[in-house]
């Protein structure tokens, strides 16, 4: 339980440290923008200052995604996007959209545009608890850089082809997909098919505490349970950087490291 602002600061710092220990060279920390932490910090601005200070400890290896909730924040998406825009360049790198996918994303179109105008990525949740129709709506209305989850795109071959053509990355989370019943069991996860269809995909742990997993575990699952080759593993790792909001120097160094790793595993 978070008891004060110092706990929130420590949580963010340790989240980034744990991610780095798993091999990540860039981490994007999702933070609720709707006053959830206000009881700890006193105001949304104070929350932003604290969280952005925490990611600054990582010295260019992390950024913040401000999350909007589809139901809780429906009356103030523009204000929350404005908050994210205010902190662009000071730690905030993206605007997310979470919550019940049954709610239309249309009320958040202006918020997405505010984020784009500020140079932020637009990274909504979609295609997890609802199917391809939710993804199509988000693609049309929000014009995202990538989708958090998006796993159910696999149900629609035409949508898979469109995602591959548009280069929209899917941030996939196999363990949480199984835990939430989105996929019946790991062996049936559509990640291999999506990758082999040319869809840009990254691997993620979702909520490490809730789902008892971490980034390294997800990569082991991709290899051992889903049968991805070293080349395919490298493709996932590259996409996690090139589709991110990481600084160009971080992307270049990370991709070079992936290529070096792959050279040690030729032909796989």
The answer to whether residues 238 and 244 touch, using CB atoms and an 8 Å cutoff, is no
Tokens, residue 26? 């860039």
Nearest-angstrom CA–CA distance, 93 and 56: 13
CA 79 to chain centre: 22
Nearest-angstrom CA–CA distance, 125 and 218: 19
User: What distances in angstroms separate CA 221 from CA 1, 139, 186, 205, 228, one per listed residue?
Assistant: 30, 29, 8, 11, 9
Question: Is 128 a known active-site residue?
Answer: yes
Nearest-angstrom CA–CA distance, 267 and 227: 15
User: What distances in angstroms separate CA 3 from CA 7, 30, 42, 128, 176, one per listed residue?
Assistant: 6, 20, 13, 32, 27
SS3 category, 61: coil
- On the CB side of 119, how many CA atoms lie within 13 Å of its CA? 11
Please, which residues bridge with residue 148 across strands? Answer: 125, 171
First and final C-alpha spacing in the chain: 45
Q: At what angle do helices 44-56 and 77-86 cross, to 10 degrees?
A: 40
Nearest-angstrom CA–CA distance, 71 and 161: 31
Among the listed residues 128, 224, 232, 263, the single catalytic one is: 128
Closest CA to 70 of 34, 26, 19, 27: 34
Catalytic residue annotation: 128
């Amino acid at each position: 339980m978070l008891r004060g602002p110092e706990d929130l600061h420590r949580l963010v710092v340790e989240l980034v440290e744990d991610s780095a220990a798993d091999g990540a060279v860039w981490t994007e920390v999702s933070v609720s923008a709707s006053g959830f932490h206000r009881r700890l910090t006193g105001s949304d601005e104070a929350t932003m200052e604290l969280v952005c200070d925490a990611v600054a400890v990582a010295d260019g290896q992390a950024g913040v995604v401000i999350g909007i909730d589809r139901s809780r924040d429906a009356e103030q998406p523009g204000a929350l996007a404005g908050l994210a825009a205010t902190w662009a360049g000071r730690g905030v790198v993206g605007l997310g959209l979470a919550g019940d996918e049954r709610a239309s994303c249309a009320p958040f179109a202006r918020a997405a545009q505010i984020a784009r105008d500020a140079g932020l990525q637009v990274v909504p949740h979609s295609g997890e608890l609802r199917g391809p129709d939710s993804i199509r709506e988000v693609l049309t209305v929000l014009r995202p850089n990538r989708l958090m989850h998006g796993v159910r795109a696999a149900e629609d071959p035409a949508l898979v082809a469109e995602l591959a053509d548009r280069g929209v990355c899917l941030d996939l989370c196999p363990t949480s997909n199984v835990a939430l019943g989105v996929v019946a069991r790991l062996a049936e996860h559509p990640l291999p098919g999506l990758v082999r269809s040319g869809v840009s995909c990254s691997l993620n742990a979702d909520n490490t505490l809730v789902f008892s997993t971490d980034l390294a575990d997800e990569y082991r699952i991709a290899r051992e349970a889903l049968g991805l080759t070293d080349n395919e593993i490298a493709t996932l790792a590259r996409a996690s950087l090139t589709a991110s909001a990481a600084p160009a120097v971080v992307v270049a160094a990370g991709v070079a490291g992936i290529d070096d790793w792959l050279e040690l595993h030729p032909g796989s």
